[in-house]
Amino acid sequence: MRHTFYLSEERFYVVGTIATLLFTLLLTIIAFMWIRIEQQKEIISNLHIKISKMERSRLTDKDAVRTMCWKELFERIDNSQKQTKP
C-alpha cells in the first residue's frame, strides 16, 4: 500500500504561501531578538565603563588618603624631632 501525496495546484500555492509567511515571521523574530541582544550588549558595555571609572575614582581616593597619611606621619616625625632638640 503506497500512499501518494498529491496537492492540486491551488492547494500547492496555499501551502507555499503559508510556508513563505511562516519563514518570514521566523526571520522577523530572529531579527528582533538580534537587535535586542545588541542593545543589551551596548548597555552592559556602558555599565562596564561606568564601573571602571568608579574603580579608578576609588583608587585615586585611596591614593590621596595614603598621601595624607604619609604627610601627617612625616609631620609628626618632624615635630617630635623639633621638640627633642634643645
Is residue 86 over pLDDT 80? no
Q: Is 1 helix (H, G, I), strand (E, B) or coil?
A: coil
Model pLDDT for residues 17-74, shown as the tens digit of each residue: 999 999 999 999 999 999 999 998 888 888 877 777 777 777 677 777 777 777 777 7
Which has more pLDDT, 75 or 35?
A: 35
CA diameter of the chain: 122
**Dist. CA 37–CA 78, nearest whole Å:** 61
Are the C-beta atoms of 9 and 1 separated by less than 8 Å? no
State pTM to two decimals.
0.49
